[in-house]
């Protein structure tokens, strides 16, 4: 973490429900290079994401909301 990093939130806040449409919008913006990581994480938070799990073998990332809802993003294999 950078010393100048700002927290996503401060104090007590209500967590929004998982908004898959807003999450996909944040994902696509990041994948297109239109956001840096801090903006991507902020977009995920605003979409209701409270955590995510990456499965490198399955090439998936599962995003979770506080209410137990989830969204799975799959990634194609990359040949180097």
18 contact partners, CB below 8 Å, separation of at least 6:
47, 48, 49, 63, 64, 65, 66, 67, 69, 70, 71
- The answer on pLDDT for 11 being more than 90 is no
- The answer on pLDDT for 3 being more than 60 is no
Closest of 28, 56, 54 to residue 43, by C-alpha: 28
pLDDT at site 2: 52
Torsion of CA 32, 34, 36, 37, to 10 degrees: -50
């Amino acid at each position: 973490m950078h010393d100048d990093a700002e927290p996503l939130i401060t104090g007590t806040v209500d967590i929004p429900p998982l908004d898959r449409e807003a999450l996909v919008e944040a994902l696509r913006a990041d994948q297109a290079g239109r956001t840096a990581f801090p903006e991507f994480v902020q977009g995920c938070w605003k979409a209701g994401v409270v955590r995510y799990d990456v499965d490198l073998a399955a090439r998936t990332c599962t995003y979770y909301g506080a209410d137990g809802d989830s969204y799975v993003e799959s990634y194609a294999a990359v040949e180097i």
